[in-house]
Amino acid sequence: MEIEGKSVLVTGGASGLGAATAKRLAALGARVVIADLNEAAGQALARELEGAVFVKTDVTDEGSVQNAVDSATRLGPLGVLVNCAGIGVAAKLLSKEGPHPLDLFRKTLEVNLVGTFIALRLAAWAMAQNAPNADGERGVIVNTASVAAFEGQIGQAAYSASKGGVASLVLPAARELARYGIRVVAIAPGIFETPMLRGLPEPALASLAEQVPFPRRLGRPEEYAALVQHIVENPMLNGTTIRLDGALRMGPR
């Protein structure tokens, strides 16, 4: 799908992977809606990018996400959704305080998995109304899973479950939406330089980077954004989860 002139919705677009994606697609001529809870960062980024707008969005609230979708369709036919909104939590199943807090597990699934599903279904409905291009394509949806979906570490039960759900959602969604010319793909990033990791001490970051076979460093958000671009532009990418991890395979801890 051609990116120039398309309306694009990026959830979690105010920082990290989402911000890098918003910047790249805007530079390619897309009209980008930055959907995020962080109003200050989102507004600042929207002012920086030509043709971009910020919409304060809670991905766990259907009405809030519908507002973001409507904002995108007002800019033009919604061609691309990139789901980057998510939270990372660490909690063991059993600790000195007791069993894993149930509310923490529910919140993680609500944001990472249910939030992804809400945006996917609402964006797909809007995309289905588009006129198809020469290949019969009407839209592209890119979700964000994680290598934790496949090699969850100790303390990642909630996060891994949520991201595993995102990865499992891809194929049935792609199969169902194929009749409308809408593709669905997920990216499973490894260890990336994002706000979730920047709070760690430098030695901890260096240790994480050493676990990556090659390149032996943390991933850069721009590399995630480059893969989003390729997915959008390559019509044969559909119904799969692509690992973006430098051959990393996470150990148990």
Q: Residues 112, 166: contact at Cβ < 8 Å?
A: yes
Reply yes or no on whether the pLDDT at 197 is more than 90: no
pLDDT at position 17 is 98
Reply yes or no on whether the pLDDT at 143 is more than 90: yes
Q: Which residue has the tokens 């532009």?
A: 233
Could you report the per-residue pLDDT of 218-227, keeping only the tens digit for each?
A: 999 999 999 9
**Spatial CB neighbours of 247, under 8 Å, sequence gap ≥ 6:** 212, 213, 214
Measured CA distances, 32 to 23, 51, 79, 153 (Å)? 9, 7, 10, 35
Reply yes or no on whether the pLDDT at 200 is more than 70: no
Catalytic residue numbers, as ranges:
159
**Spatial CB neighbours of 112, under 8 Å, sequence gap ≥ 6:** 86, 87, 159, 162, 163, 165, 166
Give 250's pLDDT tier (boundaries 50, 70, 90). confident
Give 235's pLDDT tier (boundaries 50, 70, 90). very high
Average the pLDDT over 133-141 and give the result: 97
Q: Which residue has the tokens 């990642």?
A: 156
Average the pLDDT over 139-164 and give the result: 96
Q: How far apart are CA 18 and CA 100, in angstroms?
A: 29
Average pLDDT, the chain: 95
**Spatial CB neighbours of 81, under 8 Å, sequence gap ≥ 6:** 8, 9, 10, 11, 119, 120, 123, 127, 139, 140, 141, 142
Average the pLDDT over 160-189 and give the result: 98
The reply to whether the predicted model has a pTM over 0.85 is yes
Q: How far apart are CA 102 and CA 39, in angstroms?
A: 29
Q: How far apart are CA 165 and CA 170, in angstroms?
A: 9
Q: Which CATH number fits domain 7-244: 3.30.70.2390, 3.40.50.720, 3.40.50.2300, 1.10.260.40?
A: 3.40.50.720
pLDDT at position 195 is 83
Q: How far apart are CA 210 and CA 213, in angstroms?
A: 7
Count how many Cα atoms sit within 13 Å of the Cα of residue 94 in the half-sphere of its side chain. 0
**Pairwise pLDDT comparison (246 vs 198), residue with the higher score:** 246
Could you report the per-residue pLDDT of 86-128, keeping only the tens digit for each?
A: 998 889 999 999 999 999 999 999 999 999 999 999 999 999 9
Q: For the chain, which residues make up each domain, given as ranges?
A: 7-244
Token readout for 31 is 């009209």
Reply yes or no on whether the pLDDT at 203 is more than 80: no
Reply yes or no on whether the pLDDT at 65 is more than 70: yes
